[in-house]
């Protein structure tokens, strides 16, 4: 029998390794920017085309590389960060395994230009699928410029698994947020398809958060800081009232390296106990500083999972610190045991002699006595008792025990009359509906029909808008005062790049320095509904949706959802009209998102309860 085990060719081995390290364009961005940070750069430019599928370029002003180092950088396990195994447990750099550049070069076309300070010429290297196609000297600025083109060009199956451009751009933006938050002392520039999305100057952490997420965050942040022998904590947490219904603004860093940890995330949420609305998530930007030897950052190829030696102790310290910060800023109740047990008096009152207050009571006061409420002139409104009360003796200044007994007897009779509900009977048109939020309930032959009011309105509005959009633009109502949305990055870019379609849907807007100013919203919405609709759409875009082909459908879903949320009072005629509209819809059982609108509870089912 011949031997069956053999070594893989180098290019195949590199492609397999690339599958672990490079999953999507955002992975390339992370590795290139981390290399720039390790090179000592304080200014980094990022140029992206087609969400990174066709170009990811990172330009830095770091130390650059020599000709030999430039070539060695693309070899597997070639690194300047480690000398022996002990260095793995004292890491102070971002990259250390020497796999990133070799993996990128295996599945893309890479161009590197680099020059060290003091050298006259730099080095240019062209690599395609792990093969160096050209190496030459070039005139360039000090630092390094990596251009990664046509990602997964030689692995078409992997390229086909990439998501749409909005989704991949969102992943790039998320990675950009993680890196820039960890390094506010470095300036960054992020450009996509020749459109500048971010220009971040050197700043402190609070300013960096505001630059990334909008000016409104300046008033939403609470500082957190704690120093112990095990861990140092600093950063910011969000005020509970600004918690969002979607995740995405929760950031943990350890030694300036972003990581994810559900265990520590639970500690933060426990500290917010009873302060958050249901199914909402607070923002936090928390930095942990620990001894490098007490953590393992090599648990996962993406280095976003970290193993802590003292995770239980860090959990307790984190929870206590967040709770303390919330208490100090009067967000949650806190006790100050050092405070003096005395009242804080105004300065001008401290030398005055306390005077006991006088309480005067009218012994002849009778709450049941008839009197004028308009003053001595007698021109006011009379407080007139019923005949029953008068007959019971309550019109006179004095009342006897018999009067009180008669009064309670009358109260019991009135209560019994109120409890005799006049329930609607099938066939009586004047008593056809019961309104019990969120339902309209109507008796039918087989039992009781329950109609979910908001979902019924959403179905009707969705069908109307979709039918109208197919033939003509949805009308827009102009606002007296524009709705100012602080949008940056991919969200702002999405609105601007799809302006033609969004204006056909009724959204009229202008670009501003802070984001987008909406001067018109779809006609079916009032201003409050329009604000909610825009926020809902922005949340969808932040999660990488919708795709261009689904834009109209997704936006109309959001318009219908926002327009269905009203606070109006219901009556018979409104209920009749809504149900008539609902049953004219081609699909009246479910909303466009698949939620049930109506159902019948059969008479036999509720009779079983008796």
Residue 37 pLDDT: 93
* 184-204 confidence digits (pLDDT tens): 999 999 999 998 999 999 999
The SS3 assignment for 457 reads helix
Task: Measure the CA–CA gap between 409 and 412, rounded to whole angstroms.
Answer: 5
* 276-314 confidence digits (pLDDT tens): 888 889 999 999 999 988 887 765 556 677 888 888 999
Per-residue tokens: 170: 């969102």
* 432-454 confidence digits (pLDDT tens): 778 778 888 888 888 888 999 99
Contact 368, 337 (CB under 8 A): no
- The reply to whether the predicted model has a pTM over 0.75 is no
Residue 95 pLDDT: 53
The SS3 assignment for 411 reads helix
Residue 244 pLDDT: 84
How many CB atoms sit inside 10 A of residue 175's CB? 20
* 210-253 confidence digits (pLDDT tens): 999 888 888 899 999 999 999 999 999 999 988 888 777 899 99
Task: Measure the CA–CA gap between 580 and 300, rounded to whole angstroms.
Answer: 58
Angle 551-563/527-542 helices, nearest 10 degrees?
140
Query: In sequence order, what DSSP letters do the residues of 464-503 get, joined into one string?
Result: HHHHHHHHSPPPEEEEEEEEEE---HHHHHHHHHTHHHHH
Q: Which is it for the CA torsion 569, 573, 576, 582, positive or negative?
A: negative
Task: Measure the CA–CA gap between 139 and 278, rounded to whole angstroms.
Answer: 59
φ and ψ of 602, to 5 deg: -65, 150
Contact 13, 157 (CB under 8 A): no
The SS3 assignment for 343 reads coil
């Amino acid at each position: 029998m011949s031997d069956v085990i053999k070594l893989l060719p180098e290019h195949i081995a590199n492609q397999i390794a690339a599958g672990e390290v490079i999953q999507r364009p955002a992975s390339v961005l992370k590795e290139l920017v981390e290399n720039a940070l390790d090179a000592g750069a304080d200014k980094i430019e990022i140029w992206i085309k087609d969400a990174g599928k066709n170009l990811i370029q990172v330009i830095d002003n770091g130390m650059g590389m020599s000709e030999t180092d430039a070539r060695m950088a693309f070899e597997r396990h070639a690194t300047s960060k480690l000398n022996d195994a002990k260095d793995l447990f004292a890491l102070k750099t971002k990259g250390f395994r020497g796999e990133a550049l070799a993996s990128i070069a295996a599945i893309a076309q890479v161009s590197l230009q680099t020059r060290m300070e003091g050298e006259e010429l730099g080095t240019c290297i062209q690599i395609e699928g792990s093969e160096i196609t050209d190496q030459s000297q070039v005139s360039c600025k000090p630092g390094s410029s990596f251009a990664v083109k046509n990602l997964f060009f030689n692995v078409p199956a992997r390229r086909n698994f990439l998501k749409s451009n909005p989704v991949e751009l969102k992943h790039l933006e998320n990675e950009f947020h993680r890196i820039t938050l960890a390094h506010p002392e470095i300036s960054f520039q992020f450009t996509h398809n020749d459109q500048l999305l971010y220009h971040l100057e050197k700043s402190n952490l609070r300013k960096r958060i505001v630059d990334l997420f909008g000016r409104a965050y300046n008033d939403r942040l609470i500082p957190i800081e704690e120093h112990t022998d095990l861990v140092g904590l600093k950063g910011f947490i969000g005020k509970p009232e600004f918690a969002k219904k979607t995740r995405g603004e929760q950031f943990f860093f350890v030694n300036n390296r972003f990581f994810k940890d559900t265990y520590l995330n639970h500690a933060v949420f426990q500290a917010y106990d009873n302060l958050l609305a249901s199914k909402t998530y607070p923002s936090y930007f928390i930095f942990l500083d620990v001894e490098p030897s007490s953590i393992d950052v090599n648990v996962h190829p993406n280095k976003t999972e970290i193993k802590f030696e003292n995770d239980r102790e860090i959990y307790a310290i984190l929870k206590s610190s967040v709770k303390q910060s919330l208490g100090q800023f009067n967000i949650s109740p806190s006790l100050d045991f050092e405070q003096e047990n005395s009242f804080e008096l105004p300065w001008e009152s401290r030398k005055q002699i306390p005077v006991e207050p006088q309480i005067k009571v009218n012994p002849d006061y009778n709450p049941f006595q008839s009197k004028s409420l308009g003053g001595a002139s007698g021109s006011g409104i009379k407080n007139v008792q019923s005949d029953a009360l008068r007959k019971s003796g309550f019109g006179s200044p004095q009342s006897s025990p018999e009067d009180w007994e008669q009064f309670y007897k009358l109260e019991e009779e009135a209560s019994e009359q109120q409890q005799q509900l006049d329930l609607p009977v099938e066939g009586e048109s004047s008593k056809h509906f019961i309104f019990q939020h969120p339902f309209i309930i109507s008796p039918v032959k087989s039992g009781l029909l329950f109609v979910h009011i908001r979902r019924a309105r959403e179905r009707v509005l969705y069908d109307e808008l979709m039918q109208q959009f197919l033939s003509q633009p949805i009308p827009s109502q102009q606002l007296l005062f524009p709705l100012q949305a602080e949008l940056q990055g991919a969200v702002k870019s999405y609105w601007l790049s799809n302006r033609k379609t969004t204006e056909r849907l009724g959204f009229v807007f202008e670009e501003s320095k802070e984001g987008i100013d909406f001067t018109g919203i779809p006609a079916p919405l009032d201003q409050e509904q329009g604000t909610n609709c825009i926020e809902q759409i922005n949340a969808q875009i932040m999660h990488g949706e919708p795709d261009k082909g689904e834009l109209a459908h997704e936006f109309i879903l959001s318009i219908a959802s926002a327009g269905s949320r009203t606070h109006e009072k219901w009556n018979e005629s409104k209920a009749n009209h809504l149900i008539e509209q609902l049953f004219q819809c081609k699909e009246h059982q479910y909303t466009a998102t698949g939620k049930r609108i109506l159902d019948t509870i059969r008479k036999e089912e509720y009779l079983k309860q008796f």
